[in-house]
Amino acid sequence: MAAPLVAVLLLVGCATPQGERAAKPEADTAACAPAVPLPPRVGGPFVWRNPLPQGDALLSVWGFAPDHLWAVGDRGRVLRYDGAAWQVADPGPREYLAGVWGARPDDLFVTGYNGKVLRFDGGRWWDLPTGVTNDFNGIWGSGPNDVFTVGDRGVILHYDGTCWRPQVTGTTDLFFGVSGTGPTDVWAVGGRGNVAHYDGATWTTVDVSAVAPDAHFVSVWAQAPGEVWLAGTGGTVLRLHGGRWTRADAGTDALLHWVWGTGPKDVWVAGDGATVRRFDGTAWRPVDPGVEVPADPMGGAEHAVRGAWRAGPGETTVLVGDDGLIVMGAAEALHTARTGPVADLYAVAGAWAVGGGGSVLFRDTQAQWHPLPPVGRETFLALALLADGRVLAAGTGGVWIGSARGWRHLAVPEGVPEGPVFALKAWDRRAVAVGANGLVLAFDGTAIAGEALSALPAPGGETLFGVAGAGPDDFVAVGAEGAAYVRRGDAWRAVPIEGGEDLYAVSDAGVAVGALGGIYRMEGRMEAGAWRTLAAPGGFALNAVADDSGGGAWAVGDFGAVRLVEDDAVHEVDSGTGRTLRGVAVAPDGRVTLVGDGGAVLERAPVPTGVKIK
Q: Is the pTM of this model over 0.85?
A: yes
Confidence of residue 94 (pLDDT cuts 50, 70, 90): confident
Phi and psi at 174, nearest 5°, equal -70, 155
- Rounded mean pLDDT, 94-107: 96
CA distance 234 to 260: 18
What mean pLDDT value characterizes the chain? 91
Confidence of residue 58 (pLDDT cuts 50, 70, 90): very high
- Asked if the model's pLDDT at residue 590 lies above 70, the reply is yes
Q: Do domains 5-39+49-336 and 345-604 have the same CATH topology?
A: yes
Write down the H helix ranges in 205-359: none
- Domain range summary for the chain, segments of one domain joined by +: 5-39+49-336, 345-604
- pLDDT at res. 530: 86
Confidence of residue 611 (pLDDT cuts 50, 70, 90): very low
For residues 228, 233, 234, 239, the Cα torsion angle rounded to the nearest 10 degrees is -10
- What 3-state DSSP class applies to 218? strand
User: Nearest 5°: CA angle at 408, between 375 and 402?
Assistant: 75
Q: Which of 138-152, 168-182, 290-304, 567-581 has the lowest mean pLDDT?
A: 290-304
Confidence of residue 608 (pLDDT cuts 50, 70, 90): low
Which long-range CB contacts under 8 A does 80-85 form with residues at least 24 apart? 81/318, 85/53
- CATH architecture of the domain with range 5-39+49-336: 7 Propeller (2.130)
- pLDDT at res. 614: 44
CA distance 250 to 297: 28
Q: Using one digit for the tens of pLDDT, what is the confidence trace for 279-332? A: 999 999 999 998 877 655 444 446 899 999 999 888 999 999 999 999 999 988
Write down the H helix ranges in 382-493: none
- What number of other Cβ atoms are within 10 A of residue 240's Cβ? 20
β-strands 553-557, 136-143 pairing = unpaired
- Rounded mean pLDDT, 135-163: 98
- Asked if the model's pLDDT at residue 404 lies above 70, the reply is yes
Query: In what side-by-side order are the strands of the sheet with 136-143?
Result: 136-143, 146-151, 156-159, 164-167
- pLDDT at res. 528: 58
- Asked if the model's pLDDT at residue 9 lies above 70, the reply is no
Q: Which of 9-13, 68-72, 89-93, 337-341 has the lowest mean pLDDT?
A: 9-13
- Asked if the model's pLDDT at residue 5 lies above 50, the reply is no
| Cis before 53 (ω within 30) | yes
Secondary structure E strands in 489-537 = 491-494, 503-506, 511-514, 519-523, 530-535
- Rounded mean pLDDT, 210-223: 97
Confidence of residue 27 (pLDDT cuts 50, 70, 90): very low
- What number of other Cβ atoms are within 10 A of residue 17's Cβ? 8
* CATH entry, 345-604, from 2.130.10.10, 3.40.50.300, 3.40.50.12780, 3.20.20.105: 2.130.10.10
- pLDDT at res. 338: 95
- pLDDT at res. 8: 40
- pLDDT at res. 562: 98
- pLDDT at res. 41: 77
- pLDDT at res. 302: 62
- Rounded mean pLDDT, 354-371: 95
Q: Using one digit for the tens of pLDDT, what is the confidence trace for 153-196? A: 999 999 999 999 999 999 999 999 999 999 999 999 999 999 99
Write down the H helix ranges in 530-581: none
Q: Yes or no: say if 59 and 74 are a contact pair by the CB < 8 Å rule.
A: yes
Q: Yes or no: say if 2 and 301 are a contact pair by the CB < 8 Å rule.
A: yes
